[in-house]
Amino acid sequence: MEKRILVTRSSMPEIDEYVEEIREMWDTHWLTNMGPKHKQLESDLADYLGIDKDKITLFVNGHLALECIIEALELGKELNAEGEYKDEVITTPFTFASTTHAIVRKGLKPVFCDIKADDFTIDADKIEKLITDRTCAILPVHVYGNLCDVDKIQEIADKHGLRVIYDAAHAFAVEKNGVSSACFGDAAMYSFHATKVFNTIEGGAVCFKDSVLKIRLNQWKNFGITGLETTEFIGGNAKMNEFAAAMGICNLRHLDDEIAKRERVAKAYMERLGGLKGIQLNAFQEGVKSNYAYFPIVVDETAAGCTRDDIYTALAEQGIRARKYFYPLTSTYQCYAGKFDADKTPIALKISERVLTLPMYADLGLDDVESICDVVVKCVKENR
């Protein structure tokens, strides 16, 4: 097997374009601390997303962006009528480690809500019965480029006076009826990690409704320093450096082309795998412009005659790396042993045991898609 196909491949500009972008840094020697590249990327991103420049701020990665927004919104600091801290956050276990870890690392308690079987996002109809007098926020996750039911979630949050923070790591450049995913909830966190649709090598951003947050987030990500000789908060360090910002400036220029190429890959997959017995494809949502971040399939063993793991192994034998993503549920991680009950989110549990994301990136060849589909089809047909 000479050829190997990885599950993802980071987008990069031509080397000359990047060199041109970083050249002036050898004159300025300004390498980090909200320099010119940081400012420009922030402004380019605001334009791209169609939001004000005072409603976005950049971070060193998505995870610390999420932790900072939790701190900046002071979640868990408020007391309820019984004098208890309101420290419960309703969220989903069908996510990456980051979401759950951010909640726990900030001293809050995740309360897991089940997901929908068709688009894998939190089931908004199941949120209300999880709300208690200790709930302070809802932290849903947009999954694979699908958006949560943002309208229903906001309605519930308004009714109960809760904050909404989206983990939008999978949803950069995704829109609903022309409105960017940056605009939903009190805040949305983006990850610009190398494996995401848009990358700054490592990086992230928070977009928010209330522009007052910009100042506060900028302080939180810089040790809580508020003036030359004043430090009012116990902040951390989560600033994006100039090399990362320069990478983002370059990658953003090509993003629409990259997404168009991803769409072509997704359509090729759908052509071959659509209607294949026992293989459920992602349900693209009405009115939502996807970024085609991932291409998940859900394998129903009874109908397909083979399991997700069979397909995973058959692909691996051909040098093709798929990913069991998200698997396992964050609520079943060793570090949370004995704390949560995955049986309370049965759909999330079932999907996590059956889902496989196939290789997906802009430059994935359509001939490679054919080879990948050949393996999947063979697995299903042979075992029936």
Ligand X SMILES: *Cc1c(COP(=O)(O)O)cnc(C)c1O
**Applying CB under 6 A, which residues contact ligand X?**
61-63, 95-96, 98-99, 141, 167, 169-170, 191, 193, 204
Q: Phi first, then psi: what are they for 154, rounded to 5°?
A: -65, -40
Which of residues 63 and 308 has its CB atom nearest to ligand X in the complex? 63
Residue 243's H or E segment, with its range, is helix 242-253
Cβ contacts of residue 26 below 8 Å, gap of 6+? none
Q: Smaller CB distance to ligand X: residue 358 or 375?
A: 358
Which residues, other chains included, contact 367 with Cβ-Cβ below 8 Å and sequence gap of 6+?
none
**Least distance between ligand X and beta carbon 38 (Å):** 16
d(CA 60, CA 234) in angstroms, rounded, equals: 18
Between 279 and 360, CB nearer to ligand X? 360
C-beta closer to ligand X: residue 98 or 146: 98
Relative to beta strand 163-167, strand 135-139 is parallel
Q: How far is the CB of 169 from ligand X (least distance, A)?
A: 3
The least distance separating ligand X from the CB of residue 326, rounded to whole angstroms, comes to: 8
Pick 13 or 140: Cβ nearer ligand X: 140
By the 8 A CB rule, do 42 and 58 touch? yes
Q: Residue 133 Cβ, how far from ligand X at the closest point, in Å?
A: 28
Q: Residue 76 or 204: which CB sits closer to ligand X? A: 204
Residue 236, strand partner residues:
none
CA distance 53 to 32: 19
Helix and strand element counts for the chain (H, E): 13, 15
Give the nearest residue (CB) to ligand X. 62
Least gap, CB of 377 to ligand X (angstroms): 29
- Burial, 2: exposed, middle or buried (Cβ in 10 Å; 0-12, 13-18, 19+)? exposed
Residue (191 or 222) nearer to ligand X, CB: 191
293 vs 314, beta carbon nearer ligand X:
293
Q: Is 73 or 306 the residue whose CB approaches ligand X more closely?
A: 73
Question: By three-state DSSP, how is residue 309 classified?
Answer: helix
Q: Which residue has the tokens 């190429």?
A: 261
Least Å distance between CB 139 and ligand X? 10
- In whole angstroms, give the CA distance from residue 239 to residue 61: 8
**DSSP string for residues in 301-336:** HHHHSS-HHHHHHHHHHTTB--B-TT-S-GGG-GGG
Q: Give the whole-angstrom CA distance, residue 40 versus residue 35.
A: 9
Least distance between ligand X and beta carbon 63 (Å): 3
Cβ of residue 60: shortest distance to ligand X, in angstroms?
9
CB 337 within 8 A of CB 351: no
Nearest 5°: CA angle at 129, between 325 and 179?
60
| Cα–Cα distance list, 229 to 171, 232, 239 (Å) | 39, 10, 20
Q: Are 232 and 219 in contact (CB under 8 A)?
A: yes
- What is the nearest approach in angstroms of ligand X to the Cβ of residue 305? 31
